[in-house]
Chains A and B, each alone.
Chain A
Amino acid sequence: DQQVKQNSPSLSVQEGRISILNCDYTNSMFDYFLWYKKYPAEGPTFLISISSIKDKNEDGRFTVFLNKSAKHLSLHIVPSQPGDSAVYFCAASAYTGKLIFGQGTTLQVKP
């Protein structure tokens, strides 16, 4: 039972344009959501997070939007840069130390 789903395995975007990565979840008990970025041969690194009491959180070029009624969150990267090319994982938590991850979306930003 995949509680967190990233339905797009890959995304290709031109440098300077917006990248939008999507994530859906099924468990209404999730109260905290995170995005991690992963480069090959490295562990995932934390990017940005959002609490369920908010609908938007911004950090520089990265913005996460949360739509609780649709159980959907998205990560916007503006403007996209070639160094953003990586695998992006969304994750959700229901208070405990357990993170539930999606399958990941591979972003390629073309120069």
Chain B
Amino acid sequence: KAGVTQTPRYLIKTRGQQVTLSCSPISGHRSVSWYQQTPGQGLQFLFEYFSETQRNKGNFPGRFSGRQFSNSRSEMNVSTLELGDSALYLCASSLAGTPSTDTQYFGPGTRLTVL
């Protein structure tokens, strides 16, 4: 069974640009969550999508948005990039998004560098 895949793996952008990251979940998984990892901050929750609907949202500005398609693939968009957006962006998929009953499996991440 293929794991969670994320594309691209590495990305370099300049301030003010926008970027779209993609996540393909494990087959059969309907929940996709996105996290931002920065040094010293750990993994910070961005949002979760389930059946094409945003079900949970973290405390990030509106420049961060996402969507989920009918095949459960998800995209994350960051507009008007800032230097502080440089981070590793991780997505995780699970069957139904309930941590107590099903495990979240993470992809390898997309390393975004904003210059």
Contact = CB atoms under 8 A, between A and B. Distances in A.
A and B interact physically: yes
Contacts of A85: none
A31 B42 contact: no
B44 A101 contact: yes
Contacts of A103: 40-42
Contacts of B41: 103
Interface in B66-115: 90, 92, 94, 96-100, 103-109
Interface residues of A, number: 28
B44 A99 contact: no
A101 B109 contact: no
A34 interface: yes
B113 to A, nearest CB: 15
Interface of A: 4, 6, 9, 31-32, 34, 36, 41-46, 49, 51, 89, 91, 93, 95-104
